[in-house]
Structure 1
Amino acid sequence: MEQLQQGYIKSVAATAGLAVEVVPVDVYGYDIRLIKPPRDAMDEESALLAQLKCTTQIVPDVSREHFSYQFTKRQYFDHLVKPRRYPKAILIVMTTPTRQSDWTEVTHDGLWTRRSCYWAYLEGVHADPSIKKPTVHIPTKNKVDAASLIEILDKIDRGESLND
C-alpha cells in the first residue's frame, strides 16, 4: 500500500512540476515533502508536508461532501492538527480495492490506478483528548491531482488558508 500511494503521489507531483522527497523515517508523523521550485533564482521554493494513509475499508461516495477516516493512533492526528507556521501539513488518504491485484490496470492507453487519493487540512481541528483514534472528515472535492497540489502550494505562498 505504501509503495502504491507513493507512486500515485510521485506521478501526480511530476505532472505538477513538483519534487517529492520521501521521509525515510517517521519524523513527527510525516511521510513525504512536496517541493515547488522557485519561479526564478531570487524566489524561494515552497514546501508542504504530508502524512500518507491508505485504506481498503472506504469507498468514497462522490455524491456526498465527505467521507470519514479514523486514525489508528492518536499521535498521527495530533501531528496534523497543531498550529504550524511553515511548512504546512496535510493528510492524504488513498482508498484502494481490497484485492491487491485490483489496485492497478495496464492497458495500451496507460497505467490506471483504481480509486484515488484525497487530502484534508486539519490544522486547528479539535477532538476530545480521551479519544484514542480520532475520526476526521475528508472532503470528496479534495481529490489529489496536479491542479490541487499546485493550488495548495500557491495558497501557502500567498499566506492563504488551506480551508477555503
Structure 2
Amino acid sequence: MNPRIAVPAIAGWLFADLLLAFSIVVLGTQEPPPLPVVEPTVSPSLNPKPTRLALERRYIKVSLRVDPRKGSRSAIGALRRAIKSHPELKDRTAGIVLTFGAVVSGGEDFAKSVNKLLPRVDRELFRDVATRDFQLIGGTDGAVELQIYLFFNK
C-alpha cells in the first residue's frame, strides 16, 4: 500500500464528510410543519346510538327437524315453534346464526335455504343477522341445528 496519499484525495473526502454533517445539522434544526386544525362536524345528540354492538360469548342452540321436501310454509312453522320454546330469545336480537343442515346430499344448501327463511320466522330476532351455512355431519335427513349468538342486552 502506498504510504503517501495525494492531498487532493484527502481534501475531497473531508469536503464530502463536512457536507454530510452540515446537512444533518440543518435537517435536525427544522421545525415540523404545523398540523391542520380539524373542526368536528358532528353535533352531539341527546340520545347517542351505540357505535359498536358486542355479541355474547355463549350461544343458544336450537335443534329441530324440517322435512326438506315440504314447502317453506311448514319449515317456517317448525322454526317458529322451535324458537318459541326458548324463552331467552324473546325480545332479543341475533347477531350471528350458524346453521347446520343434514340431508342426503347438499347439507350446506339445505342450511342456506333455512337461513333464507329466518327473517320471515321472527323479524325482530333476525333483523340484519349474519348467517353461515354448514353440513351437519352424522345428522338424520332434515335435521337442523341453529347456533344463535345474541347481542348483549342493554
Asked whether the two chains share a fold, i.e. TM above 0.5, the reply is no
Bigger relative contact order, structure 1 or 2 (CA pairs below 8 A, ≥6 apart): 2
TM class, shorter-length: under 0.3
Structure number having the greater strand percentage:
1
TM-score calculated relative to the size of structure 2: 0.26
